[in-house]
Every structure is written in C-alpha cells, then in structure tokens.
Chain A
Amino acid sequence: MIRSQLPLIITFFTGMLLIITFFIPHKPFGDLEQRFLIWYSIISGFTVLLGLDSLVRYHLTKLKREFNIHSLILLFSLFLTLILGFYSWFKFKTPFALNSPFMYLYTYVIIPLQATMFALLAFFIASAAYRAFRARTFEATLLLIAATIVMLGRVPIGSYIWKGIAYLISSIFPKIPYEELAKKEIFALISDWIMNVPQNAAKRGIFIGTALGGIAMSIRIILGIERTYITK
C-alpha cells in the first residue's frame, strides 16, 4: 500500500509546489525550480555509475559463459578511455588539453566514429526516399513533388537546372528574355516558400497538439490518475 501510494504523494506535492512557485518570487520559493534542476543534475551524474554497473556486469557475465570478442573489445575500450581520461586530467589539469592522450583518443577515434555513424544517414535517406516516395495517392504525389523541389532548391545544382529550364523556355518562347528568367531561381524561391509556409503551418499544428497532450499527461501524472509508470 505505502509502496504504491508514497510515490503518488511525492509526485503530487512536488508537481503542485513547482507550479505554485512559478508565481512566487519570494524566498525560498523563487529559486526552488533552479534548486530542483541542480539536484537533478547531481543525481543524474551519479546514475552514470548505475549504467556503468549494468554494462560491465552484463558483458562480464557474457564473457564468463563463452568467449565473445565484442564484449571483450567493449570492456577494453571502456577502461582504456577511463584510464586515459584520468591520466590526462591529472597531468594536464583537463582531459581536453590539446596534447593530452585523451584528446588523441578523442580526435582520432571518437570523432571519426561518430562522424561515420552520422554519415550513414546519407545512405539510409537515399534508400528510404527511393522506397517511400511513390505516387500512390494524390497526397503522396504532392509530398513527392514538394520534396523534390526542396531538395533542388537547397543546393547550388538547383540553380544550374533552373538555368537550363529557363534556356529551354526562352528558346521556345523567344519573347521571354533568358537573362531575367534565369535570375529568378524558381526552385530556391518555391523551396523557401514551402519551408516557411506549409511546412511551418503543419509543424505548428502538430506542436500545439503535442504541447496540449503533454499538459494533459502532466496533469494526469500530478493528480495520480496516470500510474502506468509506477510499479506496485
């Protein structure tokens, strides 16, 4: 009973307190939000240990059961980074000193690895776009055309292509001067319009819905109606 009720009471009390303190600048209420945020930062700092414990224990058990090269590499890199970090900290006062061994690890291992993972996005976007952008319905066709124009409008090649189209138009209709038409940068203009108007409108709609949903969820949590996150 107390195990399931106590968290609800704490949630209600803290939630209401923080809402009320938003309107009271007087001490000790005024800086309570700030104080709670600092407490959270302190606690979240310690939870790294929790994560470390989970990670190390999981891979040690796995290694005990059978030889696993992935687990071995993981544990080795984990402790190597830790040791180099502490060493650089003591020797150079900060692990991020440009000539420290930790910085070497950072520059030549972490940067390339992170950049590689992010770069995979280019490959995945290409394959996902190829698969998903099919003109199955009228809406899908609109989406497809908009995406194509934005892609062209955002890069220099769009302006080359437009110049080509302008040349074609002015050679078919000689009354339309090529120079003026080429300057118009139609892809970039339409792309800016798509990004500023329809894109923003849809995004704001979703955003307002999400914000209201968030408020409703928060009120449910504060009032103890939403209990799915609390175990009995």
Chain B
Amino acid sequence: MKDIWTKLATIDRRIIYLLVFLVVSLPMIFRMIMPIRVSSEVKMAFSEIDNLKPGSIVMISIDYDAASEPELQPMLIGILRHCFSKDIKVILLGQWALGLPLGEIALNQVAKEYNKRYGEDYVNLGYRPGYTALMVGIGKEIRDFFPTDYKGIPIDSFPFMRKVRNYQQIDILVGLEAGATGDAWVQFAGARFNQKIILGTTGVVAPDMFPYLQAKQIVGLIGGLQGAAEYETLVRKAGSAILGMPAQSFVHLLIIIFIIIGNIGYFILRKRK
C-alpha cells in the first residue's frame, strides 16, 4: 500500500487528464469572462492598422489549418472587423491549403456584419504551392502567381486590385502563422522588399518571433489565445478568444498546483531516503 507522499509524487496521468478536462470545460460552459491586460506588442499591431487611412490595403495570409483554429481564427476575425470598420481593403491568401476555407468562413461572417462586398472591399486569392517562390514572386508582380482569385475570376476585374502590382501597394501584411512560414515572410517579404509585417502566431510559435519584433523586422506581434483576446479587447468586440481565456487561466493554475504537489511528494520521499 502506497503512502500519501508516494501517491502525490506519482499521480496517475488519467487523473491529471480528467482534472484538465473539467478545468477547461467548466469555465466555457458557464461562459466566464476575465479582464484582459493588453501587452505592448499587440498594442503595436493594433495601432499600425488603426493608423491606416480608409482605402488602404491589408494583405492577410492564412498560414494555419483547423488544428490552430481556436487560437488564430479569433485573431483573423478581430483583424477583419478592425479593417472593415475602417474601410480598409483586404486581400486574403494562404500558404496552407487546408486553412483557406477558414479564411473564407471568417470573411463571409465579418463582411456580412459590416455590409462589405466581394471584389469591392475584399478578395480571396486562394492558395498556390511553393511558398518561398510565391513570397519572392509577389515582390515582383502578384499576377505572376495570382492572375485569378480562388474562384478563377481574373483579379483585374476587381477595381481595387487593378492597382496592386506588388508589395509596394500593400500597406501591411498580416501573417497568421502556425508553423515556419512566418519566418519566410520576414526573410522574403520583409528583408527583400521592406514590406511592413504584423505576425499573429500560435502560443507555441510566438517566442520564436520575439527576436523579429526586437529587431523591428515586424511591427506587431499577436501571440496565442491571449494575444487574440487582447486584440478582441482593443477592437471592443468579445469573441471566442476572450471566452477562452478563463479556461486557459485555470488550466495554467492547475498545472502549477500539480507541479507544487509533485514537488512536495518528491521532497518528502527524498528526505526519507
């Protein structure tokens, strides 16, 4: 029979899983909300878009798929709301083929909220394989890669797209990243063509992007669900990120409690030995 300290030092992982499940789901079921502290990097991203004049062009790249949807989709929706509320034109494209439908879903939803029309206020260019070639190529001529939008309609049939040739006509590029494509945007669009870049990344990828922010290679960074919730706070429209933050808060707390319990058990057992 194990004594209590041994039990504390070796809790069965299924018990941990069960508690994590409860701690994540209960705040969501009861729709708890907590105040959000806005970090400087998200504020930077927000004010870059906020300072744009109506009619400016923002290009958003969907570089994630359904797995990172909970973290990155609220960012996309927040940014789209921000852009459309300021009459900024949006060009959507993606480096992850399976992520594009998520972009389409968000565009449809937000465009309806702000009465925006396809082709006049936003376009969806779709996906082309080979992202390095594409990122360099857009620096020369966007039509070399996207002569048509994702439905096959020539992009020159959309009034605001007629003037877009390369990065020089795009005010800000927003990369929503779940993998390594964010680095590529910085290396190719940023370093070679001086494109202003904001990156929105999953929580895991965010620490990787801090050096770019420090070196001013990107002008804003939205990291993880917390970043998305901060952006939602700034846009003043609560979405799934703000609703998700309490769950994340409690699960962090739970992990800390487990670490403390594990250490107490470990120390007492070590002392006995």
Contact = CB atoms under 8 A, between A and B. Distances in A.
Interface of A: 34, 37-38, 40-41, 44-45, 93-94, 96-98, 103, 106-107, 110-115, 117-119, 122-123, 125-127, 129-131, 133-136, 144, 147-148, 151-152, 154-160, 185, 188, 192, 195-196, 199-200, 203-204
Contacts of B129: 41, 44-45
B240 interface: no
B16 A38 contact: no
Interface SS of chain B: helix
Contacts, number: 150
9 contacts: A38-B133, A44-B129, A96-B104, A98-B104, A110-B66, A129-B258, A154-B226, A157-B253, A196-B210
A37 B263 contact: no
Given A115-B70, A133-B259, A152-B256, A34 B101 contact: no
Contact of B207 (A94, A131, A152, A195): A195
B194 interface: no
A94 B125 CA distance: 12
Interface in B6-48: 11, 13, 16-17, 19-21, 24, 34-37, 39
B67 A129 contact: no
A178 B250 CA distance: 25
Contacts of B133: 34, 37-38, 41
A199 B207 contact: yes
A208 B259 CA distance: 32
A30 to B, nearest CB: 11
Interface residues of B, number: 61
B36 to A, nearest CB: 6
Contacts of B65: 114
Contacts of B39: 188, 192
A130 B255 contact: yes
Given A114-B69, A115-B67, A123-B20, 14 more contacts: A37-B133, A94-B150, A111-B66, A118-B68, A125-B255, A136-B266, A148-B259, A152-B252, A156-B37, A157-B34, A188-B39, A200-B210, A200-B211, A204-B211
